[in-house]
Structure 1
Amino acid sequence: MYILKNENLTAQISKNPFELVSLKKDGKEYVYQQDSTWKKSWPICFPITGKLINDQYRLDDKTYHMTGYGFFRAITDWKVVTQTTEMLVVEYVAAKTFYDQYPFTFKLEVTYKLVGTELINKVKITNLDSKPLPYNFGWHPAFICDDHLGKIIFDQPQIVTHIPGGAFLGTTMTTEVKNEIGLDEYDFATGQCYALLNQTTEQVLIVDPIRVIRLTTKGYPNVLVWKCQNDAKYICVEPWDGHQDDVNYATTPFDQKPWINHLAPQATKEYLLQVELKK
């Protein structure tokens, strides 16, 4: 276990799987402690966000299989680049381990840093290949939040799309314009999520009677809100650069799906997530 500390915060990051599992301010826990049916805390999604239709995609006339949210969590051979009291930087250089799922070479650099009452989380993706790297990327943090009194507050009104459990995009779905999502007003019983697609927020607040968390969302085209069941005392707020598969593009090659990003050979893209514990 890696442990980071400053004058306000303490963070714990497990080594296998490599995942932040605790973030405390003055001794109070803010990260979901896996005390319901979902046994993750802060997964990172790469090279897909959400799921592919039939857990597969086509590329260069071949079919590749990849389960939902990608294989980031399955990476075990991280190398520590920097480790101080307040910061951890690790990197992974892709070998052939996941080549049967994703035939590309790349490097991932992950940073966790404590600054004041903020956790700064970064992921830097570098394309080491001689061809463009097609990918999506997303954060999937889970925060402790009261299941009746908790809510997600947007910094401006947003269109919220109701996505049924297990559904893919491309079908008719309910939408509404909202300033916030009250957790007791929405049904999560069968895997539903509530998505801000093509969203315009710069930050959201996760609020309940004893916690206020500010989460940066600027620069991410989509933000999803999800939990595994109605009485689970946490909520995932997920800034994504990408989204789940779309039935209208079920047979479209992976690198031609319109929401897939393309990173040029030897180019780098950095993703930033800032989490401030305000209360």
Structure 2
Amino acid sequence: MHSSSRFPFGAVSGVLVALGLLSGCGDDVTTETVDLAGLSDRTLTYSHADVDLFEVEQAPGSHRVTVTFSQADGDRCTRLNDGATATFNGQAMRLEQGGVDATAGRDVCLPTRAFFDFDPDAWEALPPTDARIVFQDASATVTLTMKEGQAKRSFTGTATRLLRGQTYSFQWNPTNELLNAAAATLLPEGGAVTAGMTITREGGKITFTVPSQLGAATHLLTLSGTVQGEVTECSGVAACRGSYYHSQEQVVAVQ
């Protein structure tokens, strides 16, 4: 992949980097160190970002799984003890222990979370597989399994030439997943303003009509969607939830 000036504003805008929420803290708040058992009352959230950019270097987090423990109640800010590990289907994840951070000039309570950056080409070549996340230390084991969490998401459609006023459809993959939200935009080559389009969803299929007022030109079509993930295993915490986000860009001729 390489940088491109053809669509200077369209590519990076679609990136979803799952960073988790940062909470402001008072100056007198200190970090409370806990072991994994001390996080048993939390909710574990699985966020899957799968962003395919056109002719642009992939931004950090473009293809990333982030698993985040919810924050403590009240004014508490907790940090996971040393010695804990996190794995994604047996592969090591990058674990951030959380706690109070003051490097930005104010105290911020960072959550405990783990990251796994995946290779989209490798995942696309494999059949969908469940994703099993395991946090472990001497005190406890926390397990979260997401149905088909290890799978490349995509939209498929054959249209590379779009006629103004005509309607087109694209299918989300895997096809057994139902879209909770979706969007489609068109950005003219060399332009800075995208044209949003009203879409309809039917299961995993999205349909939109190309605006008749668009000028005939090469455009960057961006499709995006979100699916609520299915949790098949959740242990060691109070609750688990997850979602999958995908966006992709392709060049089309609008006529």
**Would you call these one fold, judging by a TM-score over 0.5?**
no
Structure having the higher Rg:
2
TM-score by length of 2: 0.31
TM-score by length of 1: 0.29
